């Protein structure tokens, strides 16, 4: 496999099967994807076509059944689990389709968590958590726990958390799925701003507005990439 400078993601021959009732569901059937530094890519396609599966494989969350992924210059699944976790913690941000916030922690503590894991001192992470929650419009909700936040607010806490360690690449799975139009538009602006500052983004979305905001759209169907176009 080549290791082109400026390549953030290089995935080859990705097959993903999930064991299911003694059988296997094939969610990805041979996917190649390249993403360069500084790109913003939208991944679109019908429900069940494999978008979340692909994102999880690309981000180092779930190994493929077959195929290879280079992420930020490393052979992602050639690394041992500790090295892969460190890479994800320090250089990658992930926004899950279902938030994955910890219900027992406040919004601010949720945002602080990845910084604590990365060894950022308490005071610095408290200040940065507040700054990030301000950034996503939640400066007035820092002490609230997720069960006391709306879906859109939880989504924004999850986004703030993903930004905590200043990732070079952000993966987002339906980041505007729970948001009203206005908040959704704010999140799109936020992503565009991050992208202008040099962050690479890969965003799975059903939302035409999000897809329109991305210069490149990767279209999936039935476990395959069926189109990849750069907007003129």
Q: Which residues bind ligand ATP (CB under 6 A)?
A: 18, 20, 25, 27, 47-53
Closer to ligand ATP by Cβ: residue 25 or 104: 25
**Among 133, 205, 185, CA closest to 163:** 133
29: left (phi over 0), alpha (psi -120 to 50) or beta: alpha
Q: Which does 48 bind (CB under 5 to 8 A by kind): Mg ion, ligand ATP, none?
A: ligand ATP
Number of residues that bind Mg ion (CB under 5 A): 1
Closer to Mg ion by Cβ: residue 68 or 97: 97
Find the shortest distance in angstroms from Cβ 204 to Mg ion: 6
Stretch 41-60 residues interacting with Mg ion (CB under 5 A): 52
Q: Are 7 and 168 in contact (CB under 8 A)?
A: no
Cα–Cα–Cα angle for 89, 93, 98, rounded to 5 degrees: 110
Closer to ligand ATP by Cβ: residue 54 or 129: 54
Find the shortest distance in angstroms from Cβ 30 to Mg ion: 19
Pairing of strands 7-20, 66-71: antiparallel
Q: Which does 20 bind (CB under 5 to 8 A by kind): ligand ATP, Mg ion, none?
A: ligand ATP
Q: Which does 164 bind (CB under 5 to 8 A by kind): ligand ATP, Mg ion, none?
A: none
Q: Which does 27 bind (CB under 5 to 8 A by kind): ligand ATP, Mg ion, none?
A: ligand ATP
Closer to Mg ion by Cβ: residue 71 or 220: 220
Residue found under tokens 């993966």: 171
Buried b / exposed e over 67-93, threshold 16 CB at 10 Å, is: bebbbbebebbeeeeeebeebbbebbb
Q: Which does 128 bind (CB under 5 to 8 A by kind): Mg ion, ligand ATP, none?
A: none
Find the shortest distance in angstroms from Cβ 179 to ligand ATP: 16
Using CB under 5 A as the binding rule, whether residue 176 contacts Mg ion is answered as: no
Phi, then psi, of 72 in degrees rounded to 5 = 50, 40
Query: What DSSP element (H or E) covers 67?
Result: strand 66-71
Q: Give the neighbor-by-neighbor strand order of the sheet with 74-75.
A: 23-36, 7-20, 66-71, 74-75
Find the shortest distance in angstroms from Cβ 205 to ligand ATP: 9
Q: Which does 2 bind (CB under 5 to 8 A by kind): ligand ATP, Mg ion, none?
A: none
Residue found under tokens 């879906």: 151
* Contact positions vs Mg ion (CB under 5 A): 52
């Amino acid at each position: 496999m080549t290791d082109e400078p400026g390549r953030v993601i290089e995935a080859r021959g990705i097959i993903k099967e999930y064991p299911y009732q003694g059988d296997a569901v094939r969610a990805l059937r041979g996917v190649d994807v390249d993403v360069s530094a500084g790109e913003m890519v939208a991944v679109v396609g019908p429900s069940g076509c494999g978008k979340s599966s692909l994102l999880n494989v690309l981000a180092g969350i779930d190994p493929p059944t077959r195929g290879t992924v280079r992420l930020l210059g490393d052979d992602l699944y050639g690394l041992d689990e500790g090295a892969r976790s460190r890479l994800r913690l320090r250089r990658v941000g992930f926004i899950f389709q279902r938030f994955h916030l910890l219900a027992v922690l406040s919004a601010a503590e949720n945002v602080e968590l990845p910084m604590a894991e990365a060894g950022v001192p308490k005071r610095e992470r408290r200040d940065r958590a507040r700054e990030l929650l301000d950034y996503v419009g939640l400066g007035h909700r820092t002490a609230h726990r997720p069960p006391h936040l709306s879906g859109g607010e939880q989504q924004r806490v999850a986004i703030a958390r993903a930004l905590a360690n200043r990732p070079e690449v952000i993966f987002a799975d339906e980041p505007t799925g729970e948001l009203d139009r206005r908040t959704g538009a704010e999140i799109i602006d936020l992503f565009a701003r991050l992208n202008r500052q040099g962050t690479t983004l890969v965003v799975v979305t059903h939302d035409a507005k999000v897809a329109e905001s991305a210069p490149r759209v990767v279209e999936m169907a039935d476990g395959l990439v069926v189109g990849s176009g750069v907007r003129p």
